[in-house]
Amino acid sequence: MAPVKVTKICCIGAGYVGGPTCAVIALKCPHITVTIVDLNQARVDAWNSPDFKLPIYEPGLDDVVRQARGRNLFFSTDVDKGIKEADLIFVSVNTPTKKSGVGAGFAADLNYVELATRRIAHVSESSKIVVEKSTVPCRTAESMRTILEANSKPNCRFDILSNPEFLAEGTAISDLFGPDRVLIGSLQTPEGKDACASLAGVYSNWVPTNRILSVGLWSSELSKLAANAMLAQRISSVNALSAICEATGANIDEVAHAVGYDSRVGNKFLRASVGFGGSCFQKDILNLVYLSESLHLPEVAAYWRQVVEMNEYQKKRFSKNVVDTLFNTITGKRIAVLGFAFKADTGDTRESAAITLIKDFQAERALVNIYDPQVEHNQIWADLTEAIPNTPLENIKKQVTISASALEACKGAEAVVIATEWKEFRDIDWALVYEGMNKPAFVFDGRLIIDAEKLRKIGFKVKTIGRGERV
């Protein structure tokens, strides 16, 4: 055998991973036809929209799609056709944390992965390379291979690869253009290594070969969980130190800067905040916890669980600080929450710290104004309905308002809470904001983005996370 020359790729799943990844592959590999398939008609319609109002906000993504769509990049709901025609299939479906059954709250729900795998086996009339792109537990590829082999047609061969993504939302396109590494895991058989070489051949159209790493299948699956767990661990570590800073009068920026100068540590992911969010960090750590417990490693499980517990503590500590500072009650007081996405430059709200803060403020019977420049209003209402399940939406809306601008959100408020590090929040006319607020006017910076001294000169009382200051 020899590596297959890939000419047609199908990606099952048009979400945050599959859409941007395969759009960039199409851009960089004009000789390869890339079809992204999804059963969600509305999502596919958005990818095909004439005005390029894509279902995902990601800087630079619309430009990539504009260049490749209709040339060698296609979006479709015809899943079977995409599977049949492809040499290589990415499985890039959602793997949320289970909400019920064995492993609820920790284990990944692999239902969509299994459905996609069964569909590939049922539809395929020729041999395929099947690539795990979703974040999955270690040894998921073994289950996929069992399903494919048990249901394959005669003369159909399936080779399984693991190719985890290491994208950061907000910088996904630049991450794809110049990745730190591309990781490809395969069985260490001649056939597995040939399949690995086929996928490596796709990436080598723009990625230097020394950044394309070939490893064993199980190592690849675990590496994705390990990378996210260790990044989240750094955030929780610096957030734990931020609590000490506030209690002692130290400055977390100065502490992190000093620590980051150590070449063994480095300065990335050492920025204190109100807490991490997104689709990966918490989900992957909980997955690692469940894996550790399944392998009878309780001490390992407890270690990683603490990273998530520290993150939850940081959010609760921040919201309590708001209540304590506002004279121990926020009942009937108006609080402006600036930012609802879990981070800047994305519309993704999964596990956003803002959701926890607003839930806490709502429980204290405060009035909340929300502003975010990218998150759709219906997404905000859906997230709050899920976060506050025992309160009907109409009752939530009696306490929560979505504003059209930051200035509008702050008008008449007692306090401003910065929950997302959008650049525009640095550039607000804070003097104008101060004029429209009730006095004393408070600002709580949960993302370390404002000039606290400048705001104090205007008249604000400022509390910055990780700084032991008195308002």
Asked whether 272 and 465 are in contact (CB, 8 A), the reply is yes
Q: Is 417 part of any known ligand binding site? A: no
Asked whether 79 and 40 are in contact (CB, 8 A), the reply is no
What integer pLDDT is reported at residue 141 of this predicted model?
85
pLDDT level of residue 3 (50, 70, 90 thresholds): confident
Q: Is 96 part of any known ligand binding site? A: yes
- Which one, of 206, 198, 211, 212, lies nearest residue 28 by Cα? 206
pLDDT level of residue 345 (50, 70, 90 thresholds): very high
* pLDDT above 60 (res 32): yes
What integer pLDDT is reported at residue 470 of this predicted model?
58
Query: Considering the chain, what percentage of its residues have pLDDT values greater than 70?
Result: 99
* pLDDT above 80 (res 157): yes
Asked whether 311 and 276 are in contact (CB, 8 A), the reply is yes
Which of 11, 138, 280, 410 is labelled catalytic? 280
Q: Is 43 part of any known ligand binding site? A: yes
What integer pLDDT is reported at residue 117 of this predicted model?
95
* pLDDT above 80 (res 277): yes
Q: Which two tokens stand for residue 379?
A: 């997404």
Q: Is 135 part of any known ligand binding site? A: yes
What integer pLDDT is reported at residue 135 of this predicted model?
76
Higher pLDDT, 341 or 469: 341
Per DSSP, the residues of 106-151 read TSB--HHHHHHHHHHHHH--S-EEEEE-S---TTHHHHHHHHHHHH
Cα–Cα distance for residue pair 91/110, rounded to 1 Å: 12
- Each residue of 453-470: pLDDT tens digit? 999 999 999 999 999 875
Q: Is 97 part of any known ligand binding site? A: yes
Burial class (CB in 10 A: 0-12, 13-18, 19+), 401: middle
* pLDDT above 60 (res 471): no
* pLDDT above 60 (res 261): yes
Q: At what angle do helices 217-248 and 281-294 cross, to 10 degrees?
A: 120
What integer pLDDT is reported at residue 136 of this predicted model?
78
Mean pLDDT of 21-27: 98
Higher pLDDT, 471 or 342: 342
Burial class (CB in 10 A: 0-12, 13-18, 19+), 146: exposed
Q: Is 209 part of any known ligand binding site? A: no
Cα–Cα distance for residue pair 303/298, rounded to 1 Å: 9
What integer pLDDT is reported at residue 118 of this predicted model?
95
Per DSSP, the residues of 41-99 read HHHHHHHT-TT---SS--TTHHHHHHHHBTTTEEEES-HHHHHHH-SEEEE----PBPS
- Each residue of 33-61: pLDDT tens digit? 999 999 999 999 999 999 999 999 999 99
Asked whether 86 and 128 are in contact (CB, 8 A), the reply is yes
Q: How many CB atoms lie within 10 A of CB 440?
A: 14
- Each residue of 372-418: pLDDT tens digit? 999 999 999 999 999 999 999 999 999 999 999 999 999 999 999 99
Cα–Cα distance for residue pair 44/82, rounded to 1 Å: 14
What integer pLDDT is reported at residue 439 of this predicted model?
97
Burial class (CB in 10 A: 0-12, 13-18, 19+), 5: exposed
- Each residue of 103-151: pLDDT tens digit? 888 888 889 999 999 999 999 999 999 999 987 777 788 899 899 999 9
Q: Is 146 part of any known ligand binding site? A: no
Query: Considering the chain, what percentage of its residues have pLDDT values greater than 90?
Result: 89
- Each residue of 85-97: pLDDT tens digit? 999 999 999 888 8
Q: Is 280 part of any known ligand binding site? A: yes
What integer pLDDT is reported at residue 2 of this predicted model?
76
What integer pLDDT is reported at residue 457 of this predicted model?
98
Q: Is 14 part of any known ligand binding site? A: yes
Q: Is 117 part of any known ligand binding site? A: no
- 410 catalytic? Reply is no
Q: Which domains does the chain have, with CATH numbers?
A: 8-207 (3.40.50.720), 222-471 (3.40.50.720)
Higher pLDDT, 107 or 318: 318
pLDDT level of residue 1 (50, 70, 90 thresholds): low
Cα–Cα distance for residue pair 441/83, rounded to 1 Å: 58
Residue 308: φ, ψ to 5°: -70, -40
Cα–Cα distance for residue pair 284/294, rounded to 1 Å: 15
Straight-line distance from the first to the last Cα atom of the chain, in angstroms, rounded to the nearest whole number: 71
Q: Is 71 part of any known ligand binding site? A: no
Torsion of CA 48, 54, 55, 59, to 10 degrees: 150
